[in-house]
Structure 1
């Protein structure tokens, strides 16, 4: 029993010792793998080592490396000692030792150390050596100053790296071997190519199925294992044909790229949130910001992934931005992000556009003195899914389907929705982010801008559809934070506004999951008295859609300048004007005489009242009289009008008593270089972005700031019109000769005419507002693009409603043209509104704009036609009888005996003509033989509907009415309304009183036509369709009861057009 007990005790003691040794190894591994400097690792290992020896209380440990000692406590010199060298690349670089006091007891065969302890110290020595090697390599890869003699030893330096990887990371070891083989084959080393072919197991050329391999038969799978012998052969070839420096450089780069593999994986993982991405970026900052150590493919992959996750997923944007941006730019961007928890959002369209423009200017500005003074404001970005966080935090999920509701319901609910959003709370993460942003900004006035995913794209600009709001940013920190969140909530609500929903619906964007990013920017400007404003602001375009002189070319561009905040440059104003200039033609002015310069000079300016903490409109003359000498760049912006002359102001100007107006003469003078800089900037941005651009800018008196950059809206398929022959005078309704752009409207069925004199006579605000609402209702009833709007002043302007009909985008988006009229009686003046949000709406919707001056002697205006034609308003809107004298709906065909109205506009000739033609003349259009007016088109966008119309006419003229019992054939829908595309149906109404047999024959006849038309359409367009004819049969009873499609026959709003048929036999 005693012997058995002794054996058990020995076993227990042995197991206890093994546990201590294992624990010592685990502790050492944990320390060596930690992210601390090597010196601290060695010291910690030395302190932990005694725990693995038989008598920890008496054992001491020491590590010597680079003439430095790391010990547990006072090391025992002269006693029993166990040592092992630290070896790297066959060189001794240090030593580890353990010792006991001189009188230590013997444990095994005359030794104070167990055999297992001797194995333990050897294992520790190897692991410490590997750690030292890894640390030295890491420092070398990261470019740190370090003595790398431990790893560089002549021609064997790169082998030391591979030896270490063979032990620590076999996967990377194999990857490097494979990449080295591919590289050598790529540069033409014959032995490497042969080895690669053997390694890849290329298929024999005698294989009977070689012609099919990899095409419609899978390539046979080959073994793809890299054996140790193959690796040795790879390295042998490399050592022979490449220099040591080449190999070491390649390994450094590839190992560095492998170290960012985790970052790339996080970026490519769609489940990764922005906080996780930002953490991964921070973990790899030291590696990825040294772009010279990364290959171009890896660098491009990293840039593309970062752009896609942080900025934008638009391919055209990614392809351009990756060439402009550095990895360091992304780290600067991350410092300006405000993100909710688990965010997957982006900057949004406006943020992305400004971000790219900033990089374009930065890259070009270092070598370009014209761009050296251009700045961009410091910007903070609330990521686009912040609105989803807002919606979910406040349990407003029902708003996710809000965009599919009836537009009238949306319009009615929108004011309440704004207040709902303003009374909601932000999540704690968003609140904290916004609070920290205010700490960084200080108490400067701010502008909160929308930046949705769809906004500012080439396809859709969303000009003015989403809100941008100014806040004074004054008061306590709590008050400032509440004001900021209140503004953001209102911008969020604007995503659900009626104009935005209508705009998306028109462009088939409703199904897109829209998100709203936010830009928070310091307002550019200076404090002048109690106000805060920039010296001037404005918008500029690289292309000029309208020219006030024949010398101005489209590429000369356009600038709109206003004093103060740039809001008056982008908003349409009822009672004021901006200053216009063409950067490509600095000597041409819109207003050439002194009287015109004075009359059309800006009279008002928008400023931020710091005392009232709100934006307000003030008279320019009041600001100049009180703060003239304090106004930034006053001598460049203002001129004095005295004795019939205009001169730039100077230090001697009496601002209190002189008549001073903003002409921008000093700024637009060639001496200042402003126009030259703007022209150069617009050309650069257009070139780098790949499309014409629209920018916003402001100046604080010292520097010029770029605030926004996006694609410029333009009319698609614009036609160059040449008026070589004039219509007969009796056929002309009106002409115009000012500010004409190219365009041709072929078929106008209705004119919505707001009588200028009757509108001016309205006294009640509710009546003036009702006119705009009535126009909006007609816009939704009348056939799209088949009517024009005519009326006084500036439609859709901000300011005095008496100076123009109050409408928004959704009130006019279906019209073919907006014709603004200015009579000498009254103060109605059409506005050269090129560049305003309202004007961008017209361009994007394909609405032609025409200013009309009826009282000028050189134009024609047949007032009696508009005043005496029958008014169809009450037929369309029976509840609007009280406005019957103001708003007229003229049915052109009914008023002219079946004729239609056309408008031809020639920008080159500076003239527009509206004239009546017979509807039958439309058959001549395809050949270009228009009656009285010949058109030369740059493109032929209407070929689809024209061809369909001709085919419908041919079908009707060939049909036998007696055989098939057909009484009439009518055309309606997209072909009749000139909007048909390559896949559109030809919509026909066939009035018949036939029996079943005749209907069967008719169906067979139409089927034959349908098959042939589908084939012809395919040959013409490449689009295959199952059917092209969409035929609806109606009877006498349907017409009498106005049932189904029969209601379109004789309709006021969108009548079906009768087609000519063979005459019936008697």
Structure 2
């Protein structure tokens, strides 16, 4: 908020206001009091299930003196409230904790006592999420001690508009001031944004968003051809269910969100500037909203025809944000296209955090090694640095791969990862499609804690299963922040190299219907040149390039 006020750029960008939602913070002393007065540490640090931990926390009591303050906050906000985590470790400049804990939303209700009950439960559920198994695994992976974690909570007005029983913003997104996937004439420092209709959780969960560089809003890869636009744009979106219902709080922080089809937004009349219309007769997509025809989420009227200055606002947010923080940043934002009485809408800046940058790559000749001396080679590599302490490769067998089995493969990988975490060993993970997508048809739906011991993650395309590489979720913020490498390899398009037949000939230390694990006698060498976006994995016994 202070940063926006310090920079007059944000005062009036073509009539659009840039601001922070109404916000209150519960400091860490309330967390301490809650944990100690309810004797929760013994339960929280035990090995009981997440559901049991949540049940104990929901039964516990928050300090009574908070209640009048909460009721006063309801009066000021008059809108649904997001209950977001803000822990000490999440604010660290050197360790990534974004997206590990829960964020709950509660609807705005006429019955303020009922709304208070929901708010208290949401706060307790966020506190409980510190001690879930995933968080504990993450703590182990980051060498942090869980009982040193302290949780503050942000209560924040949810950006959006109410449409009958549903509430959602026009758009939400995540922006990064460094783009590890520049295309055409984009540069890494031009930044990148992932934008979607509805609540931002859709992007965080790995849904299909629209990816573009705010300095090149006319060039959007996903809408560059008819096939890509129809196949690779957003078809679902999240809204907050304003029906109070009797849904009990769940370890799933999206328990009271609805995942709807974009078609469901048509009756809300909320899509006007954000969609184009597919004309099946002429086989073309027309920019704008027309009756009939499938609506395709292109944001064309905003990005190409500048009906709303979103690209320039986001560019200013990323440029000023990274200048003020002195390093590359990731931001979260949401906005309404139309304000009261048809006035221009508002862009809300929800969050900013540093992207932790790894040491620069030493060698500029990373890709000079011939293919036969490598296991993997990528021209689209994320991260940078040298890793020489990994001896295992866990890979999905191409010969038996079926996307219908992706959920089961995710469970199997979670078990495998647990054994690596317990042994304090790392591995390379290779498989087809998008790692971490919540849509299991697009890839294997792992969460970050389920692959936390991987040092390099590779998306490999199969001839019959070609999915666009994934972008911009909290999941990948964590990958880059940990210095975990990330390769995209598409041998069928002549992009990169993957010698799976070499791995298949080696003895397996573990093999199932879908997965194989190979262990080498000596570590393999992983080298990534972050400036050029190139990386490779050298076969054991091949000397480092610099020492050749």
Which of 469, 481, 487 is the matching residue for 2:104?
469
Q: Matched residues in 2 for 1:563 and 1:616: separation?
A: 13
Which structure's relative contact order is higher, taking Cα pairs within 8 Å and 6+ residues apart? Answer: 2
Is 1:887 aligned to residue 515 of structure 2? yes
Instruction: Assess if the C-alpha contact under 8 Å between 2:434 and 2:469 holds in 1.
Output: yes
1:647 is matched with 286
Instruction: Assess if the C-alpha contact under 8 Å between 2:214 and 2:312 holds in 1.
Output: yes
SS in 1 for 2:493: coil
1:589 is matched with 220
- The within-5 A match list for 1:559-708 is 559-573=193-207, 577-591=208-222, 592-611=224-243, 614-624=256-266, 626-627=267-268, 630-631=269-270, 634-642=271-279, 643-650=282-289, 653-654=290-291, 657-669=292-304, 671=306, 672-702=308-338, 703-708=345-350
1:825 is matched with 464
Shift of 1:365: 3.1
SS in 1 for 2:351: strand
Deviation string 1:360-394 (CA, Å, 9 cap, x unpaired) is 11232388533961121111222222122222332
Q: Matched residues in 2 for 1:764 and 1:694: separation?
A: 30
1:863 is matched with 500
Distance 1:718 1:597, change over 3 A: farther
Instruction: Assess if the C-alpha contact under 8 Å between 2:333 and 2:351 holds in 1.
Output: no
Distance 1:682 1:854, change over 3 A: same
Deviation string 1:530-555 (CA, Å, 9 cap, x unpaired) is 32111100011222233234x32222
Is 1:718 aligned to residue 371 of structure 2? no
Q: Matched residues in 2 for 1:390 and 1:788: separation?
A: 41
SS in 2 for 1:855: helix
Q: TM-score, normalised by structure 1?
A: 0.46
Distance 1:570 1:590, change over 3 A: same
Shift of 1:781: 5.2
Which of 40, 51, 67 is the matching residue for 1:415?
51
Unpaired runs of 5+ residues, structure 2, are 246-255, 339-344
Which of 902, 905, 913 is the matching residue for 2:525?
902
Distance 1:844 1:555, change over 3 A: same
Q: Matched residues in 2 for 1:514 and 1:764: separation?
A: 34
Is 1:776 aligned to residue 417 of structure 2? yes
- The within-5 A match list for 1:313-352 is none
2:156 is matched with 521
2:251 is matched with none
Shift of 1:526: 0.9
Q: Matched residues in 1 for 2:418 and 2:528: separation?
A: 28
Instruction: Assess if the C-alpha contact under 8 Å between 2:375 and 2:538 holds in 1.
Output: yes
Q: Matched residues in 2 for 1:611 and 1:711: separation?
A: 33
Q: Matched residues in 2 for 1:830 and 1:732: separation?
A: 24
Deviation string 1:289-323 (CA, Å, 9 cap, x unpaired) is xxxxxxxxxxxxxxxxxxxxxxxxxxxxxxxxxxx
Shift of 1:706: 2.9
Shift of 1:506: 4.3
Shift of 1:863: 3.2
Q: Matched residues in 2 for 1:754 and 1:618: separation?
A: 32
Instruction: Assess if the C-alpha contact under 8 Å between 2:18 and 2:349 holds in 1.
Output: no
Is 1:369 aligned to residue 7 of structure 2? no
Instruction: Assess if the C-alpha contact under 8 Å between 2:198 and 2:238 holds in 1.
Output: yes
Deviation string 1:615-662 (CA, Å, 9 cap, x unpaired) is 1111112322x33xx21xx34311112223322214xx10xx212111
Q: TM-score, normalised by structure 2?
A: 0.87
1:841 is matched with 478
Deviation string 1:562-607 (CA, Å, 9 cap, x unpaired) is 011111222224xxx1111112333432232232222211111111
Instruction: Assess if the C-alpha contact under 8 Å between 2:10 and 2:18 holds in 1.
Output: no
Q: Matched residues in 1 for 2:403 and 2:180: separation?
A: 35
Deviation string 1:201-227 (CA, Å, 9 cap, x unpaired) is xxxxxxxxxxxxxxxxxxxxxxxxxxx
Shift of 1:780: 1.8
Instruction: Assess if the C-alpha contact under 8 Å between 1:695 and 1:706 holds in 2.
Output: no
Q: Matched residues in 2 for 1:639 and 1:449: separation?
A: 34
Residues paired across the two proteins, number: 527
Shift of 1:817: 0.1
1:542 is matched with 177
Q: Matched residues in 1 for 2:463 and 2:141: separation?
A: 37
Q: Matched residues in 1 for 2:60 and 2:366: separation?
A: 63
Shift of 1:721: 4.7
Shift of 1:906: 4.4
Q: Matched residues in 2 for 1:640 and 1:605: separation?
A: 18
Q: Matched residues in 1 for 2:80 and 2:482: separation?
A: 35
Q: Matched residues in 1 for 2:529 and 2:367: separation?
A: 13
SS in 1 for 2:492: coil
Instruction: Assess if the C-alpha contact under 8 Å between 2:170 and 2:336 holds in 1.
Output: yes
Q: Matched residues in 1 for 2:312 and 2:337: separation?
A: 18
- The within-5 A match list for 1:414-433 is 414-433=50-69
Distance 1:862 1:782, change over 3 A: farther
Which of 22, 26, 35 is the matching residue for 1:391?
35
Q: Matched residues in 1 for 2:304 and 2:170: separation?
A: 17
Distance 1:789 1:416, change over 3 A: same
SS in 2 for 1:918: coil
Shift of 1:467: 1.0
Greater share of helix: 1
Greater share of strand: 2
Q: Matched residues in 2 for 1:849 and 1:461: separation?
A: 16
2:248 is matched with none
SS in 2 for 1:701: strand
Shift of 1:503: 3.5
1:790 is matched with 430
User: Which structure would you say has the larger Rg?
Assistant: 1
Distance 1:795 1:415, change over 3 A: farther
Shift of 1:905: 4.0
Q: Matched residues in 1 for 2:155 and 2:382: separation?
A: 39
Instruction: Assess if the C-alpha contact under 8 Å between 1:548 and 1:738 holds in 2.
Output: no
Shift of 1:907: 5.4
Question: CA RMSD, aligned part only?
Answer: 2.9
Q: Matched residues in 2 for 1:699 and 1:475: separation?
A: 25
Distance 1:511 1:539, change over 3 A: closer
Q: Matched residues in 1 for 2:423 and 2:398: separation?
A: 22
Q: Matched residues in 1 for 2:147 and 2:188: separation?
A: 34
Deviation string 1:7-65 (CA, Å, 9 cap, x unpaired) is xxxxxxxxxxxxxxxxxxxxxxxxxxxxxxxxxxxxxxxxxxxxxxxxxxxxxxxxxxx
